[in-house]
Amino acid sequence: MTLHGNIPPPPEKSVKFSLENDNNSRKKQKYKELWKRVARKALDLSLKDPWGKYNIHLRPTKKALRYRYNAMKKEWKKDEVFVKMEDKPFANGAMRECYRLKKMSNFVNDTNWKLAMNYVCKRYIQDVDRNVLFEDVKLQMDSKLWAEEFNRHNPPKKIDIFQMSILEFTEEEGSPLYHLEHFIEGEYIKHNSNSGFVSEIMRMTPQAFSHFTFERSGHQLIVVDIQGVDDLYTDPQIHTVSGTDYGDGNLGTRGMALFLYSHQCNEICSLMKLTEFDMSPNEIKERTTNGHCIISDPSTKFTILTHSSLDICQSIVNFKEDAMENLRQQVFSTNSTKSLDKQSDDDGHSEKCLCDSCIEKDDILRSKEVFESFDDEDNHNHKNDNTSVESSSNESLQRRRRYFSSNSVSSDSKNTEAERFASAIRKFSRPAGLLMPNVCDEVMNALKNSNSLFVLGQVHLDIARYYEIGKFSELSSGNNLLNPEDSSIEHLPAQEVMYDKESAIFHLDLSRKCGVLEAIKTMADIAFDLPHDLLKDVKSDDLKIEEIKDDEDKIIFGFKMMELAAEMSERNAIHFVAFSYETGLNLPKTKKTDWCKAMYWYEKALEYYVTDDYENNGNNINKKDMTFVCPQYEILAKMGQMLNVGGFGLERDGNEAYNLYTEAAEYAMEAMKGKLATKYYELAELCACDE
């Protein structure tokens, strides 16, 4: 009787197992050879000097001071370097000219200048302040931190931003300053600009990087003006909310608006769950019908295996935190962890080692899934596993829903339910898109208690402004409308510019929903057909929004916006609401004359006339913005009159009316209104007699 364990396996299974091993071995060998070929190619390129024909090594040696900026520690370091550079620039830009330069490393004893590294030094054509160059370096090195943060989210192509430093030639007249960067061979491409320009063939990675910085920073900044060789970028620009940092190129929210208006989300944006910027129906139709669609570079195409490795972008800051400081802390923490990992590696091989064992080890660890994906038999045998992976991958491809999670707000830092709610509402402004429609009322209530100015709303407000001045008018060919060199249209009078009113109102309304005071007040003025500074030619009949269906809805909507603006301390809105409750004019049918509310709003108006509104600057006393629709003495007289008469929910109080009339008379005397002051004194006496 033959034992079961002695039964030989079927021959076809043995052959199959042998073929699988052979295939895996061939694939491993293939990747090993590929890595070695890349290493040899890199070494060959390093031995060929593309600037050898210029004989820079024959130029005289110059001594210079080099200033390097540590973006992590926000510190400058200075050392001495020796360079050789050409006398004449080889390229000129709008603001700077470029020189070829070789720099000898401080860590070598060999003085063979032919082997020295190639650099490009740049000098401003016009004389600029010394601090401008140092601010440029800080800008570029801070942008480099954001590039590293982008890489940590596993994009299909990693990016980097050139290291930049400053050279000061102290031995030359005037001690001129130059920017210094490594020279990189290749085609120099400008992908986007700091004023919204986007190249005709849009690569995914540069545009996604700019979008990423906007959402990752919690809308505090955006890195634009992406240009360089392949995915090595230089001379970026950062727009911040304040608009005061990083030089004159920082356009603030206006720069953010120009980028987001011209940006079209691509595959990388979707996989990182970056939210599309809200566009009006006319804008969407114009993009699709006129061919303003994405023509992507095929070099940025990637497979589903890469899809599943991308990390979702989420804001790194709370509402009042500084995004740049948080990023520094995060990078510092990451680097500390990496340094500990390196110390624990005691095999004696560096990260850049190209020996067979290191290549094989790295290849096996990083490419295991790739090996398996090429094996059809293996995919067939693990069908269930692949199905689950595909399912999870598809789930990751779904867009992030726009609501906050239960643990997005720490219960330890928030004491009341109201504070938690307000904080949660603030988090909605972080995606580039606006809020879900069903939370608009909650947002309005939250804004009444917060007086917050949302960055996203300011961006939409700036787009509405750009429409009015004609920045986006007569869309003709791609993104030419955003060409920063074509700025003459901005100087045309508003009445001569034909623009898309519906789109302008769309962005103004979104700004209103985000809680921007100027947008709220403007929408209220438009609803009541009052004069307004923004979109001056827009009338109430032009408002085509979901809240307005008939004329009565206009009054209801307009008064609701006016009350909200008053709650946010807009002075003209305060007087409008107070006057409406006093007289009953402009009130919707759902409200009625209420002198108690009128008194409340008039008292709120008086708060702007306290002595704290004065500042002593030397011998000058500058009064803050005291422009108001009604002088202080008139407000006091109105309040005195209502208290003296009583009614509409307000009890009569002659004594308080006397005090208010008397105070009104005193302020009228200060304003050189003698006759009016006398009248108020007489009314005060009548109040006293009635008592």
Task: Give the domain range for residue 609.
Answer: 595-691
Evaluate whether residue 492 is within a structural domain.
no
Q: Is residue 302 part of a domain?
A: yes
Q: How many CB atoms sit inside 10 A of residue 143's CB? A: 28
Residue 567 lies in a domain: no
Which structure tokens are listed for 69?
């900026």
Q: Are 650 and 610 in contact (CB under 8 A)?
A: no
Is the residue at 152 inside a domain? yes
Is position 114 within any domain? yes
Looking at 289, 309, 332, which one is the last position of a domain?
332
Residue 561 placed within a domain = no
Query: Whole-structure pTM over 0.75, yes or no?
Result: no
Interatomic CA distance for residues 142 and 72, integer angstroms: 9
pLDDT of residue 660: 96
Which of 288, 308, 332 is at the close of a domain? 332
Question: Which pLDDT tens digit goes with each residue over 430-457?
Answer: 556 654 444 455 444 444 433 334 788 9
In this structure, of 623-632, 637-646, 670-679, the range with the lowest mean pLDDT score is: 623-632
For 508-530, write each residue's pLDDT tens digit: 999 999 889 999 999 999 999 99
Q: Which residue has the higher pLDDT, 552 or 418?
A: 552
Which among 315, 332, 349 is the end of a domain? 332
Average pLDDT score over the chain: 76
Does 502 map to a domain? no
Whether residue 565 is contained in a domain is answered as no
- Are residues 421 and 441 in contact, defined by beta-carbon separation less than 8 angstroms? no
* Number of domains into which the chain is organized: 2
Residue 393 has pLDDT above 90, yes or no: no
Nearest to 333 by CA among 155, 72, 150: 72
b/e 522-552 (16+ beta carbons within 10 angstroms → b):
bbbbbbbebebebbeebebeebebeebeeee
β-strand 91-92 against 160-161: which pairing, if any? unpaired
Nearest one of 547, 322, 555 to 441, comparing CA atoms: 547
Q: For residue 530, what pLDDT is reported?
A: 95
Q: How far apart are CA 490 and CA 333, in angstroms?
A: 46
Q: What whole-number percentage of the chain has pLDDT above 90?
A: 48
Residue 579's H or E segment, with its range, is: helix 571-583
Burial classification of residue 28, based on how many CB atoms lie within 10 Å of its CB (0-12 exposed, 13-18 middle, 19 or more buried) = middle
Whether 561 shows a pLDDT value over 70: the answer reads yes
Highest average pLDDT, of 44-53, 433-442, 478-487, comes from 44-53
Tokens matching residue 398: 């779904």
Which of the 8 DSSP states describes residue 192? B
**CA–CA distance, 629 with 607 (Å, rounded to integer):** 14
What CATH number did the domain enclosing 227 receive?
3.30.200.20
